[in-house]
C-alpha cells in the first residue's frame, strides 16, 4: 500500500465518522516559539488552549512536519528522519476515550478490502498509563483486547503535556508485533524494536499547573472540556504495510534513495558508510523539497539556515559517494516531487520554482566545496603534524568566512577525521566579524556574492552595464545574468527571488544617498520580474533584485525594462532639494558644514552634515526661506561631465564617502549649487514645488541631521499644520501668533497643579500608616498589615507607605503588604521586618505568591520586594494568598 493510499484511507475513515478533513498546515509555524511545525498537533494547539474556535469539534489531518534536533543521527540509524507526516484525529470537547479507542482499533483491523489497514488483531498490543483503569477497561471490555496484551507504563512513556502549564493527560499507544525475528517476546515494555509503535492516543483531561519536567508537574484540576489528540506516523505505518524493515525502504524515500544510488554508482546495503550517505540524501532531499515548496529559502538564519544545512548535507553526501557533478540535486528533487506529488499536488504546480531554489543552492555549495575541501584537508594535516586533536578556531572561521563552510559542516567533517574544533575561538571571531559588519553598510549591500560571481556577471553583460536612465525611463535590453541565492543559474521560475543583470538598463542603482528605482522587467518569453531593489556591488555592474511574478526568466531573453516613473520623479525632487539645502547650510554656517551622508526617498530626504553644535531654529528658517526663493526663481538644473580637476576648479562639491574617477558628472542648480553627483534630478528648480524643513537633531559627535519634505508631501504637511494651528487658536481663544506664549503658560500651570496633586496624594497615602500599623492582625505570631490603596496611587507611594508601616512595626515580627492599581495594572509591594525574616518569611518569595495570583511576576530582596500582574480583578485573591502564606509560616 503506497504512502498516499495510507493517508487517503486514514482521512477517509475519519471523514466517514463525522470528522472535518483539515489540509496540512504550512511547515512555517504560526507559533512564534517554533521555527517549523514539528508535530501533527501544532496547528491545533490554539483550539486545545481555547485561543481560537475550531472549525469543527471533530477534525482529522495529514500534517507535514520537520524536526531537526537529531539531524546528526539521520542516516546513521533507520529511525531518525527530518521530514515526516503525522496522521491524526482530534476531538475538541466531543468524544473521549470511549470514542477514540474503538475508532483506532476499527481502522487498524478492518480488512484492506473494506478500506482499512488489515492488521491481524493478535498482532496488536496496547499500553496505557499506570493509573488509567478507564482506558484499560475500554480496551479489554469494549474492544476485546486480552489482558495479557494490555501493558501499563509510567509518566515517561504514557503521559503527554506540552512542557508548559496547560492541558495534559494519559496516553494509550498501539504496537504492532513484527515477529520473533525482530526481538524478544514480552510486549513493548520488553522490546520496542520487535513491538513497533504505530499509533498514540492522547487523552487530554487535566489542567496542569507548574511543569518542571516530563515527569514532574502539578495537576491543577480537570479540563472543562476533554479533548482527543492522536498521532500515527505515516512513514512507519507505510513500512509495516509495505513489508519493509524501516522507513527508508518505503515508497517515497526509497525512490529518492534508489535514484541517488544510481546517479552515484553506490549500492545500498554494500557498506555502512554508503548506506548512511544514501539515507541522508533521501531524507534531506525530500525535506528540502517540501520546505522550499512552503516558501522557505536558504539563508544564514532561522528556518532558512535549517533548509541550507539540510540541502548542503545532501550535496556533500552525494560527493562522498562520488557524485561530484552539478545537476544531481535537480534529478533527485524531480524524483521527490514525483514521489510526494500525489499527496501534495502543489509540488507539481511549483516544480519550476522548487528547482530554481535548490539548483542555485547546489551550484553555490559545489563552488564552496571545491575550494573549501582543500583548505579543510590542509588544516587536518596541519593538526596531525602538530600532534593535536584540535582544529583551530581561526581555521574554522576561515572556512566559514572565506569559503562558506557552515560551522556545523566543519564540526561534522572534523568528527569524521577524529578531531575536535575550537568552537569558542570560532564564536569569538564570528562576534568580531559581526561588529565589523554593523559598521560597514556598504558591505551589507553586496549580499553574499563573491568576487568570482560578480566577475562572471560583468563578463556576461559584455563589460560595464550601460546605464541609460538619465534620459530614458524604459528601454530594450538583453538578460545577461541571473542569480538565485548568490549562484548563477540559467533560468528561474515563478515566485523565485532573483538578481538580474541586463546589458543596459534605465534602473538607477542605489548610491550617493539616492534610493534605487523600482519597476518591472518584461521578458520576450512572457515572464515578468518585479524589481524592488537595484545595487552596484562592483564598478560597472548593476544588479536588479526582485521576484519572478509570472513565467520563467531565462538568460539570453530579450528584456523590456521599465521603471516606476512617479517614484523616480519623487526621488529626483528629493535629490535636487538635498543639493540645495546643502548649499544653503554652507552659506549659513560656512564650509565646516560638510556633508556627512544623505538619503533621498520619494517626497522626503535627510541630510547629515558636520557641525559643532545644534543649529538654531532661526538658521533652519533662513535656509528654508532661501531654498524656496530659488524654487520660485525656477533655475535651470544642468548635468554635464568634465574632468575631476576642472570640476574642482569650478568649485563643485564632492560628496561624503564617494569615490571619483578622472571624469566626473557635475550637477548644478543655476549658480546656487554645484556638486559632483551621479544621481537623477529635476530639469528646473521650480519642479520641486516646496521644501519644508522638519527639524534637526544630533546623530553622533559633531554630526547633525536635517529632515525635510519636498513637493506634494510638503504641501500636505503644511495643510495639516495649518488646520491644527487654527483649531488650537480657536480652543485657546488667542491669535495664532500668541499661541506659543499662551500654551507655555497653560503647560506651566498644569505642571504646577500636577506637582501639588502628587504632594497631596502622597500625604494622603502616608497619613494612614499609623492606623495600618495599629490594625495589624496576628497570624501565628506574625503581625500582618495589608492594604489596598486607591486606584491611581503610584508605585513610589505604595513603596513609601509599605516602608513607613514596617518602620512602625520594626520591634515585631511583621509583614506589610500594600497593593494598588496605578495604571490599569496591579502593583504589589511587600516589606518584612527583621523579626519576620528570622522566622523564614522573605519579601521576594511572598511577592511571587501575590504576583502569581495577579497573573504576573516580580521579586526583590528579603526585606523589600515589588511585583505586579495584568489582572486588576484579582487583587483580593493576591491579598488572600499572601495572608495564607504568612499564616502557614
- The C-alpha atoms of residue 724 and residue 80 are separated, in whole angstroms, by 66
DSSP single-letter state for residue 74: B
- Type and span of the H or E element at 360: helix 351-385
Cβ neighbors of 123 (< 8 A, separation 6 or more) are 176, 177
Strand ranges (DSSP E) for 349-403?
390-391
Q: Are strands 466-467 and 504-505 parallel, antiparallel or unpaired?
A: parallel
Cβ neighbors of 757 (< 8 A, separation 6 or more) are none
SS3 state of residue 649: helix
Instruction: State yes or no: 171 annotated in a binding site.
Output: no
Is residue 667 packed enough to be buried (19+ CB in 10 Å), middle (13-18) or exposed (0-12)?
buried
Q: Cell digits for 346?
A: 502543489
Are 689 and 631 spatial neighbours (Cβ–Cβ below 8 Å)?
yes
Q: What is the DSSP string of 712-759?
A: HHHHHHHHHHHHHHHHHHHHHTS-GGGHHHHHHHHHHHHHHHHHHHHH
SS (H, E, C) 762-826: HHHHHHCHHHHHHCCEEECCEEEEEEECCCCCCHHHHHHHHHHHHHHCCCCCEEEEEEECCCCCC
Are 686 and 671 spatial neighbours (Cβ–Cβ below 8 Å)?
no
Instruction: State yes or no: 681 annotated in a binding site.
Output: yes
Smallest CA-to-CA distance from 506 within 562, 577, 567 is with 562
Owner of C-alpha cell 488489515: 118
Q: Cell digits for 814?
A: 511583621
- The C-alpha atoms of residue 497 and residue 487 are separated, in whole angstroms, by 12
Are 691 and 708 spatial neighbours (Cβ–Cβ below 8 Å)?
yes
Owner of C-alpha cell 499527496: 343
Are 465 and 505 spatial neighbours (Cβ–Cβ below 8 Å)?
yes
DSSP single-letter state for residue 514: B
Instruction: State yes or no: 677 annotated in a binding site.
Output: yes
Q: What is the DSSP string of 661-693?
A: -SEEEEEEETTTEEEE--S---SBGGGG--EEE
Smallest CA-to-CA distance from 232 within 342, 393, 100, 55 is with 100
Q: Cell digits for 167?
A: 492541558
How big is the chain, counted in residues? Answer: 889
- The C-alpha atoms of residue 816 and residue 821 are separated, in whole angstroms, by 17
Smallest CA-to-CA distance from 802 within 765, 834, 835, 777 is with 765
Strand ranges (DSSP E) for 178-302?
195-211, 217-233
Q: Cell digits for 199?
A: 499509533
- The C-alpha atoms of residue 752 and residue 731 are separated, in whole angstroms, by 21
Q: What is the DSSP string of 300-328?
A: SSHHHHHHHHHHHHHHHHHHHTT--STTH
DSSP single-letter state for residue 713: H
Are 801 and 818 spatial neighbours (Cβ–Cβ below 8 Å)?
yes
Cβ neighbors of 226 (< 8 A, separation 6 or more) are 93, 96, 169, 203, 204, 205
Residue 500: alpha-carbon gap to chain centroid: 27
Q: Are strands 58-66 and 20-22 parallel, antiparallel or unpaired?
A: parallel
- Type and span of the H or E element at 478: strand 474-484
- The C-alpha atoms of residue 534 and residue 516 are separated, in whole angstroms, by 5
The annotated binding site for Zn(2+) is made up of 575, 579, 677, 681
The annotated binding site is made up of 575, 579, 677, 681
Amino acid at each position: 500500500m503506497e504512502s498516499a493510499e495510507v493517508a487517503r484511507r486514514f482521512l477517509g475513515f475519519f471523514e466517514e465518522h463525522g470528522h472535518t478533513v483539515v489540509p496540512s498546515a504550512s511547515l512555517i509555524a504560526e507559533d512564534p516559539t517554533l521555527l517549523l511545525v514539528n508535530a501533527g498537533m501544532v496547528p491545533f494547539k490554539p483550539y486545545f488552549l481555547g485561543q481560537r474556535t475550531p472549525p469543527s469539534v471533530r477534525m482529522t489531518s495529514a500534517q507535514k512536519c520537520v524536526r531537526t534536533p537529531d539531524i546528526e543521527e539521520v542516516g546513521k540509524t533507520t529511525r531518525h528522519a527530518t521530514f515526516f507526516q503525522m496522521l491524526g484525529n482530534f476531538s475538541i470537547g466531543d468524544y473521549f476515550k470511549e470514542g477514540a479507542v474503538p475508532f483506532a482499533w476499527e481502522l487498524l483491523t478492518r480488512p484492506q478490502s473494506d478500506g482499512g489497514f488489515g492488521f491481524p488483531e493478535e498482532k496488536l498490543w496496547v499500553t496505557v498509563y499506570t493509573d488509567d483503569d478507564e482506558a484499560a477497561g475500554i480496551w479489554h471490555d469494549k474492544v476485546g483486547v486480552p489482558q495479557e496484551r494490555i501493558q501499563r507504563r509510567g509518566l515517561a512513556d504514557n503521559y503527554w503535556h506540552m512542557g508548559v502549564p496547560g492541558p495534559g493527560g494519559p496516553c494509550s499507544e498501539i504496537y504492532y508485533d513484527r515477529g520473533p525475528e525482530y526481538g524478544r517476546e514480552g510486549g513493548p515494555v520488553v522490546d520496542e524494536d520487535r513491538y513497533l509503535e504505530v499509533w498514540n492516543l492522547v487523552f487530554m483531561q487535566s489542567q496542569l499547573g507548574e511543569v518542571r519536567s516530563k515527569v514532574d508537574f502539578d495537576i491543577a484540576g480537570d479540563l472543562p472540556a476533554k479533548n482527543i489528540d492522536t498521532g500515527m506516523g505515516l512513514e512507519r505505518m507505510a513500512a509495516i504495510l509495505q513489508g519493509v524493515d524501516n522507513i527508508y525502504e518505503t515508497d517515497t524515500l526509497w525512490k529518492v534513495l534508489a535514484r541517488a544510488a544510481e546517479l552515484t554508482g553506490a549500492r545500498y546495503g554494500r557498506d555502512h558508510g554508503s548506506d548512511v550517505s544514501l539515507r541522508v540524501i533521501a531524507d534531506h532531499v525530500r525535506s528540502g523539497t517540501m520546505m522550499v515548496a512552503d516558501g522557505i529559502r536558504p539563508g544564514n538564519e532561522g528556518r532558512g539556515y535549517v533548509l541550507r544545512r539540510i540541502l548542503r548535507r545532501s550535496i556533500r553526501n552525494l560527493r562522498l559517494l562520488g557524485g561530484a557533478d552539478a545537476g544531481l540535486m535537480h534529478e533527485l528533487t524531480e524524483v521527490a516531487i514525483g514521489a510526494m506529488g500525489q499527496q501534495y499536488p502543489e509540488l507539481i504546480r511549483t516544480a519550476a520554482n522548487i528547482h530554481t531554489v535548490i539548483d542555485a543552492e547546489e551550484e553555490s555549495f559545489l563552488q564552496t566545496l571545491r575550494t573549501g575541501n582543500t583548505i579543510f584537508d590542509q588544516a587536518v594535516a596541519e593538526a596531525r603534524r602538530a600532534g593535536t586533536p584540535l582544529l583551530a578556531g581561526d581555521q574554522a572561521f576561515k572556512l566559514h568566512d572565506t569559503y562558506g563552510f557552515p560551522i556545523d559542516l566543519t564540526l561534522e567533517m572534523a568528527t569524521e577525521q577524529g578531531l575536535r574544533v575550537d568552537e569558542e575561538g570560532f564564536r569569538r571571531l564570528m562576534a568580531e566579524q559581526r561588529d565589523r559588519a554593523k559598521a560597514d553598510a556598504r558591505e551589507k549591500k553586496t549580499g553574499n556574492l563573491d568576487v568570482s560571481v560578480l566577475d562572471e556577471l560583468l563578463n556576461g553583460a559584455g563589460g560595464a552595464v550601460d546605464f541609460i536612465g538619465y534620459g530614458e525611463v524604459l528601454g530594450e535590453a538583453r538578460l545577461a545574468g541571473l542569480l538565485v541565492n548568490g549562484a548563477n543559474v540559467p533560468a528561474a521560475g515563478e515566485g523565485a527571488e532573483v538578481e538580474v543583470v541586463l546589458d543596459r538598463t534605465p534602473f538607477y542603482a542605489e548610491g550617493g544617498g539616492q534610493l534605487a528605482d523600482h519597476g518591472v522587467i518584461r521578458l520576450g518569453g512572457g515572464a515578468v520580474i518585479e524589481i524592488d531593489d537595484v545595487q552596484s556591488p562592483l564598478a560597472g555592474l548593476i544588479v536588479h533584485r526582485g521576484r519572478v511574478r509570472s513565467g520563467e526568466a531565462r538568460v539570453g531573453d530579450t528584456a523590456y525594462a521599465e521603471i516606476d516613473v512617479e517614484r523616480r520623479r519623487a526621488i529626483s525632487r528629493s535629490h535636487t532639494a538635498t543639493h540645495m539645502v546643502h548649499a544653503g547650510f554652507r552659506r549659513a554656517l560656512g564650509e565646516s558644514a560638510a556633508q556627512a551622508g544623505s538619503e533621498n526617498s520619494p517626497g522626503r530626504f535627510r541630510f547629515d552634515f558636520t557641525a559643532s553644535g545644534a543649529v538654531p531654529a532661526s538658521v533652519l528658517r533662513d535656509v528654508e526661506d532661501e531654498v524656496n526663493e530659488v524654487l520660485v526663481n525656477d533655475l535651470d538644473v544642468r548635468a554635464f561631465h568634465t574632468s575631476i580637476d576642472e570640476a574642482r576648479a569650478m568649485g563643485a562639491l564632492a560628496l561624503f564617502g564617494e569615490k571619483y574617477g578622472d571624469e566626473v558628472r557635475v550637477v548644478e542648480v543655476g549658480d546656487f549649487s554645484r556638486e559632483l553627483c551621479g544621481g537623477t534630478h529635476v530639469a528646473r528648480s521650480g519642479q520641486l514645488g516646496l521644501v519644508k524643513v522638519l527639524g534637526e537633531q544630533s546623530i553622533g559627535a559633531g554630526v547633525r541631521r536635517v529632515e525635510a519634505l519636498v513637493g506634494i508631501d510638503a504641501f500636505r504637511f503644511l495643510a495639516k499644520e495649518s488646520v491644527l494651528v487654527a483649531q488650537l487658536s480657536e480652543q485657546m481663544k488667542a491669535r495664532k501668533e500668541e499661541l506659543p506664549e499662551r500654551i507655555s503658560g497653560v503647560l506651566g500651570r498644569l505642571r504646577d497643579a500636577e506637582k501639588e496633586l502628587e504632594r497631596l496624594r502622597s500625604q494622603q497615602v502616608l497619613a494612614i500608616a499609623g492606623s495600618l500599623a495599629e490594625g495589624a492582625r496576628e497570624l501565628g505570631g506574625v503581625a500582618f498589615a495589608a492594604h489596598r490603596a486607591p486606584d491611581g496611587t503610584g508605585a513610589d507611594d505604595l513603596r513609601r507607605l509599605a516602608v513607613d508601616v514596617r518602620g512602625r512595626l520594626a520591634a515585631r515580627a511583621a509583614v506589610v503588604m500594600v497593593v494598588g492599581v496605578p495604571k490599569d495594572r496591579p502593583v504589589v509591594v511587600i516589606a518584612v521586618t527583621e523579626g519576620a525574616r528570622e522566622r523564614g518569611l522573605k519579601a521576594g518569595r511572598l511577592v511571587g505568591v501575590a504576583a502569581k495570583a495577579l497573573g504576573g511576576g516580580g521579586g526583590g530582596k528579603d526585606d523589600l520586594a515589588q511585583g505586579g500582574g495584568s489582572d486588576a480583578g484579582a487583587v483580593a485573591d493576591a491579598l488572600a494568598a499572601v495572608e495564607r502564606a504568612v499564616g502557614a509560616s
